[in-house]
Amino acid sequence: MPTPVRRRISHYAKGLARYGPTYLLEVVVFWLIIEAVEQSGYGHPSASFAPVWYPLVSLVIVAAAMGAGEARFRLYGRVWSVAGLSDAFAVGLAVVEASLLITIVNLLFPDGYRPFRVLAPVLAAPAVVIAIGLVRLLPRLRSAARPTGNRLLVVIPDASGYDTVRALLQHPGPDWIPVAVVTTGPADVGLTVMGIPVLGTADHLARWIKATDAQGVAFVHTRKSDRAHERDLYALCLAAQLPVFIVPTADEWFPRPSAGSRLRQLSADDLVGRDQREIDLALASSEIKGRTVLVTGAAGSIGSELCRLLAGMGPRRLVLVDTNESGLFDIAEELRVGATIDLREALVSIVDRELLLGVFSDERPDIVFHAAAYKHVPMLETHPIQAVLTNVIGTSNTLRCADAAGVKRFILISTDKAATKHSVMGCTKRLCEQVVLAYRGPMSCWAVRFGNVVGSRGSVVPLFERQIEVGGPVTITHPDVSRYMMTIREAASLVLSTVSMSSPSHLYMLDMGEPIRILDLANDLIRSRGLRPGTDIEIVYTGLRPGERMTEELLGPDEAWRPTAHPVIREVVSPVLGSQEDLAWTVERLETLAREGRPDDLARALKKAVQSAPKAAEEQGAVPPPDTRRARSQKTQLDQ
């Protein structure tokens, strides 16, 4: 037998094995229902003179008519486990067509020889639609049956969260099944969402957890969610040792449709206790639109988030500078998806002045965001040469290249570790601030200082999450260590918002709120996974590493702050260590020590260069740090 013929026979055989049983079941059900109507005696008599085998004729007619309906509406080609309303309509239309065909064929037979009574196919059609609909929709009904899994209590802000609850029920994951709904807003008590009850408000969440025997709690996040109230509810759930999940609204599922993306575990962004400030970037957008913007450290945590925000502001060109080849490739490819801007990558080190000058000469940026820096405190304590070359020399090179290229605005990304100048890293960033603030020329320069960024590279949070994932232990330097924390999006938005409100040679910082105790953060992360600190996940204290402190300060003893036009941005009043020429000599001296490979002399010279005598910030109308304010309590009352 020729191969094409054999393949065709094999294809038909597979189709018959796959679709034949269901089709035969439909034919038998259709025929039996018509026969039942036939036996009712309604209408003109059927085949009075037909032989005994005549029912086989009626079965063949039903099979042919149903086959025509199947083929016309392609019932055999539908996935019935996810059938919807259109599929149910198709079943009904296929049965109607088959009934009409049977009626027409039946009328072609002479009186006394018709297989069916004249109206039997028409009268049987409604029952046939129901019966065949059940046959076809049985896989869908089975898939929609309430699956088994851990009991999940869903918290929504208001009625806008019902769509997400319905989507969770229609597409349940293998592990968690919603069993009840409570709301943080007005409650539709007594109503149900696809069979699960709306119990009441989240003010009585502990009672609802107990009443539903919930094994986990999920919070639906919408634009109307009250983050402050939700954090109080998180604490209640964690105290009950229940895992807590965050669910995006249903319309955010489609870019990430997998079941794992619907319930995400509570993250440090949710736990740090900071409101998700929606900083208005409209004014900043007007300053960015149509201009060439260059970002150093574009592959880093802050740099990449800056690039994401900048790409949506319509710059004429966005230039990404970094030495991390893979990271630079990743952020560039991410931004190119759907982007309409001119995007350039520059695989250049800011330490290489000549190559960096070539980038500035080619691109001619209008605005520069300098985010490139080494930032791992313990590592830089043992590598002061690399710290000075990248942070200090790199910043000096970038500033000089920007000045030579006619850049209009230069923004330095700094850190709260520059305030105390305790570590090598903090000293390098303090000197970077001074170099930028001491600049005198046509370019507007300023610096933005903030604390630890949750989820950034080097942050303890990703480390904790990895340690919890592998079963521990979680390592903490000291039980009393604390840090100021903010989210990556908030940090990047803060930097961008200064574009429209800053003044040259000024230093700004964010209102960082209260410091977070790292042990509390670790305990909450462990509990949010439904685990017990110290029992399921061990906590080990490793001791402070070189350069680390128990607490961080946002202001040094010689600094103070005053408010700005922005409600969460403060201006830092800080003494200038020297003139632009003096600082240039200091940077040159440090570079010489670094190039000569003298790390001990370099570290001593660096720390000496950033020391300054305290200067009364009160004279400039600023607010000193709390401990400084107490020490100077006998001074004149400050104008805050």
**Whether pLDDT at 634 is above 90:** no
Q: What is the pLDDT of residues 464-503, one digit of tens each?
A: 888 888 888 999 989 988 888 888 888 888 889 889 888 8
Q: Which CATH number fits domain 282-453+484-515+553-626: 3.40.50.300, 3.30.470.10, 1.10.8.640, 3.40.50.720?
A: 3.40.50.720
Q: What are the beta bridge partners of residue 539?
A: 474
Q: Using the 8-state DSSP alphabet, how is residue 533 labeled?
A: B
- What pLDDT sits at residue 50? 59
The token pair at 205 is 């969440």
53 confidence band (pLDDT: 50, 70, 90): low
Q: Using the 8-state DSSP alphabet, how is residue 298 labeled?
A: T
Structure-model confidence comparison of residues 427 and 527, the more confident one? 427
> Distance between CA 40 and CA 36 in Å, rounded?
7
Q: What is the pLDDT of residues 295-326, one digit of tens each?
A: 999 999 899 999 999 998 989 999 999 999 99
> Distance between CA 447 and CA 506 in Å, rounded?
7
> Distance between CA 319 and CA 405 in Å, rounded?
14
Q: What is the pLDDT of residues 83-123, one digit of tens each?
A: 777 888 888 888 899 999 988 988 888 877 778 888 888 88
The DSSP annotation for 65-116 comes to HHHHHHHHHTGGGS-GGG--HHHHHHHHHHHHHHHHHHHHHHHHSPTT--SS
**Whether pLDDT at 635 is above 70:** no
- Measured in whole angstroms, the distance separating CA 69 from the mean position of its chain's CA atoms is 47
The DSSP annotation for 455-518 comes to TSTT-HHHHHHHHHHTT-PEEES-TT-EE-EEEHHHHHHHHHHGGGT--TTEEEEE---SPEEH
Largest CA distance in the chain: 123
**Amino acid (1-letter code) at residue 131:** A
144 confidence band (pLDDT: 50, 70, 90): low
Q: Using the 8-state DSSP alphabet, how is residue 323 labeled?
A: S
- pTM summary value: 0.68
Q: Which helix (H) or strand (E) holds 221?
A: strand 216-221
**Whether pLDDT at 507 is above 80:** yes
Same topology between domain 150-266 and domain 282-453+484-515+553-626: yes
| Every domain of the chain and the residues it spans | 12-143, 150-266, 282-453+484-515+553-626
- What pLDDT sits at residue 591? 94
Q: What is the pLDDT of residues 182-196, one digit of tens each?
A: 888 776 777 888 778
**Whether pLDDT at 363 is above 90:** yes
540 confidence band (pLDDT: 50, 70, 90): very high
Structure-model confidence comparison of residues 426 and 15, the more confident one? 426
- What pLDDT sits at residue 343? 93
**Whether pLDDT at 236 is above 80:** yes
**Structurally, what CATH architecture does the domain formed by 150-266 represent?**
3-Layer(aba) Sandwich (3.40)
Smallest CA-to-CA distance from 384 within 106, 222, 591 is with: 591
Burial group, residue 291, by CB count within 10 angstroms (0-12, 13-18, 19+): middle
Smallest CA-to-CA distance from 370 within 323, 423, 432 is with: 432
CB contact at 8 A, 470 and 504: no
265: phi then psi, degrees, rounded to nearest 5: -70, 155
Q: What is the pLDDT of residues 325-340, one digit of tens each?
A: 999 999 999 998 877 8
The token pair at 490 is 């908030």
- Measured in whole angstroms, the distance separating CA 87 from the mean position of its chain's CA atoms is 35
Give me the mean pLDDT over the 12-25 stretch: 75
- What pLDDT sits at residue 114? 79
- What pLDDT sits at residue 111? 77
The DSSP annotation for 340-370 comes to -SEEEEEE--TT-HHHHHHHHHHH--SEEEE
Q: Which helix (H) or strand (E) holds 198?
A: strand 196-201
Lowest-confidence pick of 127-136, 450-459, 565-574, 610-619:
610-619
CB contact at 8 A, 603 and 384: yes
Structure-model confidence comparison of residues 617 and 358, the more confident one? 358
Structure-model confidence comparison of residues 224 and 289, the more confident one? 289
395 confidence band (pLDDT: 50, 70, 90): very high
- What pLDDT sits at residue 279? 61
Give 337's contacts (C-beta < 8 A, 6+ positions apart): none
**Whether pLDDT at 79 is above 80:** no
CB contact at 8 A, 219 and 247: yes
Structure-model confidence comparison of residues 322 and 41, the more confident one? 322
Give me the mean pLDDT over the 523-533 stretch: 82
Q: Using a pLDDT cut of 70, give the percent of the chain over it.
A: 84
**Whether pLDDT at 223 is above 60:** yes
Lowest-confidence pick of 125-139, 189-203, 447-461:
447-461
User: What is the SS3 assignment for 128?
Assistant: helix
Structure-model confidence comparison of residues 33 and 258, the more confident one? 33
> Distance between CA 616 and CA 21 in Å, rounded?
91
User: What is the SS3 assignment for 230?
Assistant: helix
- What pLDDT sits at residue 225? 67
- What pLDDT sits at residue 124? 87
- What pLDDT sits at residue 246? 84
- What pLDDT sits at residue 148? 59
Give 508's contacts (C-beta < 8 A, 6+ positions apart): 446, 447, 448, 449, 498, 502, 564, 569, 570, 571, 572
Q: What are the beta bridge partners of residue 414?
A: 449
> Distance between CA 272 and CA 290 in Å, rounded?
37
Give me the mean pLDDT over the 234-238 stretch: 83
- What pLDDT sits at residue 409? 95
Cis peptide before 546 (omega within 30 of 0): no
Mean pLDDT (the chain, rounded) = 81
